[in-house]
Amino acid sequence: MRENLSGMLKIEEINTFDELNSYETILTKALEESGSDNIFLTFDWMTLWWKHFPEKKELKLLVAKENGKIVALFPLVLSSIGFKPFAVGKIEFLGSPEADYLDFILPKPRFEIILAMFSYLLSKIKSWNLIVLQDIPADSPNLKLIEQALMQLKIPFRRLVSSKAPYLKINSSWEEYFGAKKRKFRYNLQRNWRRLEEVGKVKLERISFPYGLEKNLEEVVELHRKRWKEKYTRSVFSTEKGARFYTELAQVFSKKGWFDLALLKVNDKVVASSYSFIYGGKFYYYIPAYDPEYYDYSPGALLLKSLLKDSFKGGIKEFDFMKGEEDYKYRWASHERQNFAFVISNLNLYSRLVYWIYLGFLNLRQRARKYKFLRLIRQNLLGKLKFFKKS
């Protein structure tokens, strides 16, 4: 643990898992009082993510104290990319990229606290070249303060839109909402359900408690592996490490009432699944999947309809489709939120070179996403090349 004194503000640096564990009560209380509360900033998400994905990273949880009282937490990690002498030190949020929404945790957002944090990074942590703070929601109270602090310190930075997340505000009845959908849309869903029933016995299951969870998760993991093998690539869920993380996360979250596993089965075979969270009156539709053999029946859409209907009747205030601009989400969503990223350079010449190269890469990637045929090349051809290279 290192400290930096600046007037009445003090920054402490937490670097070990044991130290992180000791902050459960403090972090939970600070998150509840902040304007940034979401499932990906909870103590359980952070500690489990760090437990399963610590490779080539250093924990940099910065804690701001004022007169001995904690006034902010900055959950960060430092990693090294590449090899010396051209290695790049990169600071990012703890939990990225598996988390969809990330932020600093300040019960009362204040400019001088965020300024002190960035001053600490400049003066006390010398090994970073680039800071990439991904997926800060547009309604974060910290966005403008981060920008103001960086400008005052004259640190090169760029603020970008990092992702978009469709969501549905639930403020009516299910009958009113679904009845307003196009007739053909409703008809196709009903038709596909009847067609699926012709194949076999159709059953919907919802699991939100620890009992029987592990067996069902094994089926979901296999579904993901089958789905992504067809695309010759992988999701984090389909890797051994990812499967261990998401299995333990489900067990921990289910004990707190934060977890929801939904399964659509035909003759007891899982044909669609949703690995989701329920937190703060919001349903987080986090990782859906379906069996490609049943593509013609739209099993994912059928399961999603069931989840939405239950959300209307279960007191959920918002159904979050999470980041990603897939067309199917917008068929159900009523709104869209933007997430922002800050790309920040250290002050030395090498860091500035890395910064401009990184921005150039982001610009090319953003342009490529605008063209459907380039997205298809990335998703299919490049995936196949990676697959066969590993085979």
Q: Are residues 78 and 207 in the same domain?
A: no
Can you give the residue range of the structural domain that contains 86? 3-164+338-385
Please report which confidence band the pLDDT of residue 214 belongs to, taking 50, 70 and 90 as the band edges. Answer: confident
Least confident of 139-153, 197-211, 271-285: 197-211
Q: What is the pLDDT of residue 254?
A: 95
pLDDT per residue as tens digits for the range 11-42: 999 999 899 889 999 999 999 999 999 999 99
On whether both 259 and 209 belong to a single domain, the answer is: yes
Residue with tokens 């196009």: 182
**Residue 196 belongs to a domain:** yes
d(CA 180, CA 334): 12
Give this prediction's pTM: 0.91
258 pLDDT more than 70: yes
In a domain, 390, yes or no: no
52, 183: one domain: no
Tell me whether residue 323 is in a domain.
no
Rounded distance between C-alpha atoms, residue 3 and residue 240, angstroms: 38
pLDDT confidence of residue 221: 84
Is the same domain home to 41 and 153?
A: yes
Torsion angle in degrees (nearest 10) through CA of 194, 196, 197, 199? 140
Tell me what the mean pLDDT of segment 131-135 comes to.
97
DSSP state of 379: I
Q: What pLDDT, on the 0 to 100 scale, is given for residue 224?
A: 82
Q: pLDDT band for position 375 (50/70/90)? A: low
Q: Which of 281, 316, 351 is the last residue of a domain?
A: 316
Given a cut of 60, whether residue 4 has pLDDT beyond it is: no
In this structure, are 175 and 299 located in the same domain? yes
Given a cut of 60, whether residue 127 has pLDDT beyond it is yes
Q: How high is the pLDDT of residue 230?
A: 57
Residues 344 and 239 in one domain: no
Q: What is the mean pLDDT of residues 118-143?
A: 96
Q: Are residues 112 and 60 in the same domain?
A: yes
> Mind listing the pLDDT tens digit for each residue in 137-169?
999 999 999 999 999 999 999 999 999 999 999
Please give the residue that has the higher pLDDT: either 227 or 304. 304
- Please give the pLDDT value at position 391: 38
pLDDT of residue 162: 93
pLDDT at 223: 86
**CATH code of the domain covering residue 53:** 3.40.630.30
| Within-domain flag for 324 | no
* For the chain, counts of helices (H) and of strands (E): 14, 13
Contacts of 67 (CB under 8 A, 6+ apart): 8
Is the pLDDT at 209 greater than 90? The verdict is no
When pLDDT is averaged across residues 343-360 and rounded to a whole number, the result is 96
Question: Is residue 367 over pLDDT 80?
Answer: no
Both 189 and 215 in one domain: the answer is: yes
The answer to the question of residue 321 being in a domain is no
pLDDT tens sequence across 31-79 = 999 999 999 999 999 999 999 999 899 999 999 999 889 999 999 999 9
User: Is residue 254 in some structural domain?
Assistant: yes
Length of the chain: 391
Q: Do 135 and 177 belong to one domain? A: no
User: How many domains does the chain contain in total?
Assistant: 2
What are the residues whose beta carbons fall under 8 Å from the beta carbon of 239, sequence distance 6 or more? none
* pLDDT at residue 363 in the model: 87
Residues 312 and 355 in one domain: no
pLDDT 10s digits, 310-344: 999 999 999 999 999 999 999 999 999 999 999 99
Query: 161 in the Ramachandran plot: left (φ > 0), alpha (ψ -120 to 50) or beta?
Result: beta
d(CA 40, CA 330) in angstroms, rounded, equals 23
- Mean pLDDT within 343-355: 97
Domain boundary among 258, 284, 316: 316
Q: Is residue 157 part of a domain?
A: yes
> Would you say residue 332 lies in a domain?
no
Domain final residue, candidates 316, 351, 366 = 316
Mean pLDDT score of the chain, rounded to an integer?
A: 90
Say what the pLDDT of residue 232 is: 42
Cis peptide before 141 (omega within 30 of 0): no
| Residue 357 sits in the same domain as residue 213 | no
Q: How confident is the model at residue 216 (pLDDT cuts 50, 70, 90)?
A: confident
Residue 383 in this model has a pLDDT that exceeds 50? no
Q: Name, in order, each residue with C-beta under 8 angstroms of 187's C-beta and a sequence gap of 6 or more.
A: none
Asked if pLDDT for residue 388 goes beyond 50, the answer is: no
Instruction: Based on the fold, state whether residues 56 and 160 are members of the same structural domain.
Output: yes
What per-residue confidence (pLDDT) applies to 380? Answer: 54
Q: What is the pLDDT of residue 373?
A: 57
